[in-house]
């Protein structure tokens, strides 16, 4: 492992769920020079502004955690925003990093890069082997472009730009918007409100049978730093020039029903769970193959119930200020 605690490390998107977790992880490990910049000071969609920022700062490493994200409703409603914003953020940051000589960069993608009907569990080799899920295709294409940007700068310019693809993430600083959030924050909020209002029933979209994998964001941060710190020869021995991304997950999934039952337990909801089978289920299963990451010496440590309890505690503490 290669770790220089005095290097200047820029976390782009540090206020988001993943970025803030990476900042916490870096500081816990003793990194002395963690750089952060907010959108009020730097518009990542402005190429010239991004270039100027990189020119003005001495930067040794970059974690690219900034992205426009959202659930199915948001992806369906704003497809142009999702593909344009993410393409521009990635291109601007990666190009600017290269131009000032940043040798190490970690790009954070998403499991939605894989085909809708990819064989389960999904291996890194499944990329570009089939049709994407239509509801988030623009976002997925942008993330695939980010992977290929990193690979291309590596091939052409000898950079060491790496990519990690997380499964479904949750935890502190998640988005709890009633329309634009993902399943865990949406359910945590719904169950919390039901408890507060004395509601005896919570209705959940779908049959409850689809299986999903969930990773606490602190585990994601730990995996990200682990991958970034791997010596180049170890990383390259476990990847390929045109297949360099790494899956990050637990390797364990559960049904949506099981997830809802665990959230009910964590939030103290004692009423009835009703599943509305008239609503879409989505893919029957989405599970990541994480054997490549395990071979590199890392695996998740936070179990689902513990992680949900942590996420719920954060939500309750920050209820008034939380997004949504």
Nearest of 19, 7, 157, 21 to residue 89 by alpha carbon = 19
CA atoms within 13 A on the CB side of 323: 16
Any binding-site annotation on 15?
Answer: yes
> Is 110 a known ligand-binding residue?
yes
Q: State yes or no: 281 annotated in a binding site.
A: yes
Is residue 168 annotated as involved in ligand binding?
yes
Annotated catalytic residue 63: no
16 known ligand binder? yes
Sign of the four-CA dihedral 185, 188, 192, 194? positive
Residue 126 has which token pair? 């499944």
Please give the torsion angle defined by the CA atoms of residues 35, 60, 4 and 169, in that order, rounded to the nearest 10 degrees: 60
Q: Which one from 139, 161, 170, 176 is the annotated catalytic residue?
A: 139
- 35 half-sphere exposure, CB direction, 13 A CA radius: 20
Q: Is 141 exposed, middle or buried (0-12, 13-18, 19+ CB in 10 A)?
A: middle
18 is in an annotated binding site: yes
- Flag whether 190 is marked binding: yes
Cis peptide bond N-terminal to 121, omega within 30: yes
The answer on whether 169 is annotated among ligand-binding residues is: yes
287 is in an annotated binding site: no
Please tell me whether 19 is known to bind a ligand: yes
Q: With the CA atoms of 319, 189, 28 and 69 taken in that order, what torsion angle do they form, in degrees rounded to the nearest 10?
A: -110
Q: Is position 111 annotated in a ligand binding site?
A: yes
Contact by Cβ (8 Å): 112, 132: yes
In terms of Cα–Cα distance, which of 192, 199, 248 is closest to 219? 248
Q: Is 38 annotated as a binding residue?
A: no
Q: Are 106 and 227 in contact (CB under 8 A)?
A: yes
Q: Is 235 marked as a binding-site residue?
A: no
**Is 286 marked within a binding site?**
no
Q: For the chain, report the end-to-end CA distance as a whole number of angstroms.
A: 40
101 is known to lie in a ligand binding site? no
Q: Which residues are annotated as part of the binding site for substrate?
A: 190, 205, 212, 281
| Catalytic positions | 139
Q: Which residues are annotated as part of the binding site for NADP(+)?
A: 13-19, 108-111, 143, 166-169, 182
């Amino acid at each position: 492992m290669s770790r220089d605690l005095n290097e200047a490390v820029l976390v782009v998107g540090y206020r988001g769920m993943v970025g803030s977790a990476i900042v916490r992880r870096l500081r816990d490990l003793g990194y002395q020079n963690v750089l952060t910049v907010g959108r009020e000071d730097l518009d990542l969609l402005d190429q010239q502004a991004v270039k100027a920022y990189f020119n003005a700062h001495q930067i040794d490493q970059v974690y690219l955690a900034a992205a426009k994200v959202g659930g199915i409703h948001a992806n369906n409603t704003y497809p142009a925003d999702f593909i344009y914003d993410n393409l521009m953020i990635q291109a601007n940051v990666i190009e600017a990093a290269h131009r000032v000589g940043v040798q190490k960069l970690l790009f954070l993608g998403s499991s939605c890069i894989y085909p809708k009907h990819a064989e389960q569990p999904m291996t890194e080799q499944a990329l570009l082997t089939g049709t994407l899920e239509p509801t988030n295709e623009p976002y997925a294409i942008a993330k695939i472009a980010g992977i290929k940007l990193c690979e291309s700068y590596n091939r052409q310019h000898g950079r060491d730009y790496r990519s990690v693809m997380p499964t479904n993430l949750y935890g502190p600083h998640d988005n709890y918007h009633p329309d634009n959030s993902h399943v865990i924050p949406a359910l945590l909020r719904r169950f919390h409100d039901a408890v507060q209002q004395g509601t005896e029933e919570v209705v959940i979209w779908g049959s409850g049978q689809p299986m999903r994998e969930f990773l606490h964001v602190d585990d994601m941060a730990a995996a990200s730093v682990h991958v970034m710190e791997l010596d180049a020869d170890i990383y390259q021995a476990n990847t390929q020039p045109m297949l360099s991304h790494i899956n990050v997950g637990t390797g364990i999934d559960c049904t949506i029903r099981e997830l809802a039952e665990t959230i009910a337990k964590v939030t103290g909801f004692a009423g009835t769970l009703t599943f509305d089978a008239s609503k879409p289920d989505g893919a029957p299963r989405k599970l990541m193959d994480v054997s490549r990451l395990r071979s590199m010496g890392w695996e998740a440590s936070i179990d689902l119930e513990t992680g949900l309890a942590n996420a719920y505690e954060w939500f309750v503490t920050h209820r008034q200020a939380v997004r949504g």
